Every structure is written in C-alpha cells, then in structure tokens.
A and B are shown apart, each in its own frame.
Chain A
Amino acid sequence: MGKKLLLQHDHVPGIHSYEVYRKHGGYASVEKAMKQLSAEAVVEEIKKSGLRGRGGAGFPTGMKWSFLAKPPGVPRYLVCNADESEPGTFKDRYLMERHPHLLIEGMITSSFALGANTSYIYIRGEYFYVSRILEKAIEEAYANGWLGKNILGTGYDLDLYVQVGAGAYICGEETALLESLEGKRGNPRIKPPFPAIAGLYGCPTVVNNVETIAAVVPIVTMGGDEYAKIGIGKSTGTKLISASGHINKPGVYEIELGVPVEEFIYSEEYCGGIKNGKQLKAVVAGGSSVPILPAHLILKTVNGEPRLMSYESLSDGGFATGTMLGSGGFIVMDEDTSIVKNLWNFTRFYHHESCGQCSPCREGTGWMEKILHRILHGHGKISDIDLLWDIQGKIEGKTICPLGDAAAWPVAAAIRHFRSEFEEYVKNPGSIQDVKHYYRLNNLTEA
C-alpha cells in the first residue's frame, strides 16, 4: 500500500461532514499555520515540500506563491481552479464530493499564507451538485469559526465563495477563468502581466488547482521537509490519478509518485489489468492533451528503464518517445481501439472548445477535425497525414494560451507513433465500419 495523504480517510463514513472530518484531525493545518507559524513560514513550508501544481502544468507551487505582488492597500485573491474539464480527469470531482472540508481547509490555510481576505472556488457548471456540497461545507466552516471575521482570534478575516461556471473547457486556463469569474467570456488574457501581478479585478491573484490546495493541508501539518521525502526526486508527494478506459478497475487512485506504470496498470491495487483479458495498445497518461504513447513506450522508456508515474519519468525522452504526467487523467486503450477514431474524437473536442481568439487555434482545430473526418471515412489521401502534421506544427506555440498546444500535441503524437494506422485508413477504406452514424451525429452530409 502506498502512502495516502489526501484520501487516507476515504473509507470513513461521513467524512464529508464537519464533525467527522474534525474528529479525524481536520483543520489542524489552519491551527498550526495561524498559531505556530506565520504567513511567510507557511509559504516556506510549501517551497520546501517541492509541491508542483496538480492541474497539469506542474509548476512549483511555492514559487508561484512567492511571485504574488503585495502592494500596500491592494486586496489579494486566492482562486481555486475547480473547472476540471480535461478529458480523462475526474479526481477533483471525487475529492470535492467526498472530502469537501479538505479543500475548504486548504483554502483557509493557503489564503492565510497569501494574505487574501476573499477567496473563490471556481467550479465548472456541470458540477453543480458538487457546488452544493461545497457550499454546505463552507456553511459548516463559518458556523465553527474557521471562516468569517477574526479567525481563531488572530484578527485574520476570510470570506470564501463558490462560483459556478457554465460549460467551457477554456475556463480551466487561469486567465480565462479569471475573465469568467468577472462575468465575461472565457477568453485567455495576454501575459504578462501574470495573475500574480494583475489577476482578478486587476489585483494580485494566485490560481491553484483543487488537488494542489488540498495538498497544502498535509504539507503544513507534517512539514515541508517530511512531505518532500515522499515520492521520487523532484516529483514529491502523492498524486491523484483518474484511471479510465479499458481497465478492470477504473477510478481515482492516490499514488505515491514513482510507482511503476506497469504496476499501476496491472496490479490489483490499482487498475487491475486490461478489461476482457485484452492486450494494452496505448495510454494517454495525463489527460487528453498529452502525447499518446504505444504500450512499449508507456511501460518502458526508450532506454529500457521501467517508466514510472512521476513528472520526470513520464517526460523522459521528450515528446519523441515520452509524454507528460499532466493532470493525471490516465486513459487506457486496448488492442481493438482505433487510434485514428480516437484522435478524431479528441480533435472534435478541441475544435468545440477553442475560444476563437487566436486564428491558428480557431481555424487549425477545425481543419484538423475535418481532415481526420475524411480520413476516417475513406476519403483521405496520404498527403492528408502530412497536412495534419503541418497544421499541428503551425498551432503549437503560436497562441495566447496553451489550448493550441493541447490540441496540437495529441495529433503529433498519434502520427508519430501510429502513422501506419493512418495510412491503412487511406489505403484500405473498406476496413472502416460504422461511418454513417458520425455524419448523423454531427449533422453533416456525406462527402
């Protein structure tokens, strides 16, 4: 059994309620932060812990916090990113639904460390029922003196609110999220300035993922140095992995970073192997945006080392032979999966979710979807594969926000590792089944 820091009370009945959570040591990090430490000392503990952003980018949290500008007389904000929309990712929902007080506690401790007196949890609109759970937990926290005026007699005030979005993947990008929180379209902002300087309402703001904020709780309680001993190398601590696809035991698993990928897929403690006794074909390891890897490269690096569930090991080999840990959305595909169809499904997603602000992304995602569609339906040419390659290269790095990269990488990786499968669709369209449905689904006329 690996170490658990976030879900260690997962099987305690009623852990979502204040009383049970408190009985199991809940809110200790707030007491410790406010009574034994100072705001600066909490930031130091986070830096020492080596915690990296759990939303996908993996940026060191302590460093992000230390960038926060502190001009006198200007309010600062902490905003929790609960917009979880990366296909394959559902860990934040799990955590908020079952352990709402862990997030609330993390928000209080983090807000105290950053000197924020108003904080928001921005949750995707579809998670409306989860927002109700959070609101109830917030009410309980107010009633017990953890929120409001003069918390623990320290003179520190904090108000915490839940803000519900309305269906837009782009709002997981932190500046789009801030725009949305201000009541606008979710168009990402040009950076700099970064939110640490000018974020919500033009004020210094930190935006952190749900799991990142939750991890602040064990870090403050156990100390940053102790936390840093867990995990492997610069991948410290534990990570929630959302496992889905063709596996026997889909679900959310808290792993100590460094577990071998092979163990994660095949052991009974985690995914329990491939469904229906089939063979593993490919894995998307960190949410739909990260490069897909064929079985041999996800299990072992190109040098033959066992691949581990860590930031470094998953990205070993760069994009040529590696991928990314990303959000931890681990999608497993069996031998019968069509990589071309899957890529079309992903590309349709990015086309649908592009905010339309930058032309390479707005146009490019549409072109890629259309080209994949025609390849899928037997109207593709070999040159289309090169055209796809060309288009993705013209999106990557040429947009205001990372949605462009996120749309380009899956295309590049699928062609890089499975080019022959694309060629097969072009050369032997007879092998394609079930094409008409796709046209109907999208109200398209068959070409």
Chain B
Amino acid sequence: MNNIRFSDESLALVQKMIQRYPEGRQKSALIPMLHVAQAEFDGWLAPEVMDYIASLLNIQPVEVYEVASFYSMFNLKPVGKCVIEVCRTSSCWLLGAEDVIRHLENKLSVKVGGTTTDGMFTLKSVECLGSCGTAPMMQVGADYYENLTLPKVDQLVEKFRHDGKRKCYTDQPENVTI
C-alpha cells in the first residue's frame, strides 16, 4: 500500500473535488475520486488502490469496496490498455449491435468480458449508453463512436492499436462534436 500514491496533478484535482461538498460530507467525492484512481492506476481498482482512497477520505475500506463493486464502470480486475465497450441494448441491438460484438470477438480472438493475450484490448458489452439515435455504437475511453459499420470498426481497432489508447478520466475527450 505504501507505493500507491496519486501524482501531484491528480492529488490537486482530488483536493479540488473534495471542496465541492459541505463540511463533513467529503465522502461525496468517492465516485469522482475512483474515476481518477482508475485512470491513473492502469484502468482498474486494485484492493490497495481502494484502501488508499479510503485513507484519503478517512473512511473504512469497505465503504470503498461496496461502492466500487456496485457501479459497472469500475473494473475490479486488470483490463487491457484499451477497453472497448459495445452497447447491447434496445435500439443498438435492433440495428446490429450483435454483429459488431461478434465481429470484434472474431477480430480480436477474445470473448466478451475477456482481454487479448497481448494485454491490448478488453472487450465488454454494456447496457444503453444513450446513443440510440446513432446506433450501433461503442465507447472507448471517454469517446463515443457512433453509426458503426463493420469496416468502421476495423479502422477504429487499428487506430486504437496504434494509439495505445486507454480509458482516461483525466484526459480531454478527443471527439467532442460541438
């Protein structure tokens, strides 16, 4: 546990987060802090990382574990450098999400939930990401990739392989479309 510590930059961000809440309600910063921790410590929350967060907030470790295990965005086991999350619900499903998932499974030689042997990709299927009008879609890191076709998926996978992209809460999303 001693060697787990936020970078100065993350620590400053976390201190700023804690100030958003009234005195005595600092636990409210837990979820945003876990996002920062996950981004900094290899995309997942190891027990010692969660213990470190508990010590920063002065709460019991179990209060962190119970939260981390409740929310689907927190990974409790190691993931690849690039986590591909394909929406599988409703309109995405009506418009071919299964084909996208199957295509990625074949292309990456990995089953949903698994990580490629080179540690590059983790493939997940997730519930509705609010992109139904631009279905099918997937999320990688902070970014949404919409109106997917299989050739488009191929191009994106090559791009991710090249960029070595990983889920990063602290980076600016790249494709903000305004």
B157 at the interface (CB under 8 A from A): no
List of A residues within 8 angstroms of B10 by Cβ: none
Q: Which of B89-133 contact A (CB under 8 A)?
A: 89-91, 93-95, 98, 101-102, 105, 111-113, 125-133
Cross-interface CB contact of A349 among B128, B173, B176, cutoff 8 Å: B128
> Once the chains bind, are B169 and A244 in contact (CB under 8 Å)?
no
Instruction: Knowing A126-B130, A333-B94, say if A118 contacts B28 (CB, 8 Å).
Output: no
Residue of B29, B88, B133, B134 with most chain A CB atoms under a 10 A cut-off:
B133
Chain A contacts for B88, CB-based, 8 A: 345, 441
CA distance in complex: A250, B90 (Å): 14
Interface residues in A, total, Cβ within 8 A:
65
Given A126-B139, A245-B94, A251-B133, A133 and B178 touching (CB < 8 A)? yes
Determine if A201 is an interface residue (Cβ-Cβ < 8 Å): yes
Q: Once the chains bind, are B22 and A118 in contact (CB under 8 Å)?
A: yes
Chain B nearest CB, measured from A314 CB (Å): 18
A161 near B131 with CB under 8 A, answer: no
Stretch of B1-9, B65-73, B148-156, B158-166 lying at the A interface: B65-73
Pairwise interchain contact B177-A97, C-beta atoms closer than 8 A: yes
Asked whether A164 lies within 8 Å of B102 as measured between CB atoms, the reply is no
Contact present for A182 and B28 (CB under 8 Å): yes
| CB-based contact A164/B125 at 8 Å | no
Whether a CB of chain B sits under 8 angstroms from the CB of A237 is no
For the side of the interface on B, what is the size category? 35 or more
B49 CB within 8 Å of chain A = no
1/0 per position for A63-99, CB-CB distance to B under 8 A? 0000000000001000000001111111011000110
28 examples of A-B residue contacts, CB within 8 angstroms: A75-B22, A87-B127, A97-B176, A125-B35, A125-B73, A126-B73, A126-B130, A128-B169, A129-B142, A129-B143, A129-B144, A129-B176, A132-B173, A163-B32, A167-B72, A169-B127, A181-B28, A182-B28, A243-B133, A244-B135, A245-B95, A245-B132, A246-B94, A250-B91, A250-B134, A349-B128, A353-B127, A355-B70
User: What residues make up the interface of B, taking CB atoms closer than 8 Å to A?
Assistant: 20, 22, 25, 27-32, 34-35, 57, 63, 66-67, 70-74, 88-91, 93-95, 98, 101-102, 105, 111-113, 125-135, 139, 142-144, 169, 172-173, 175-178
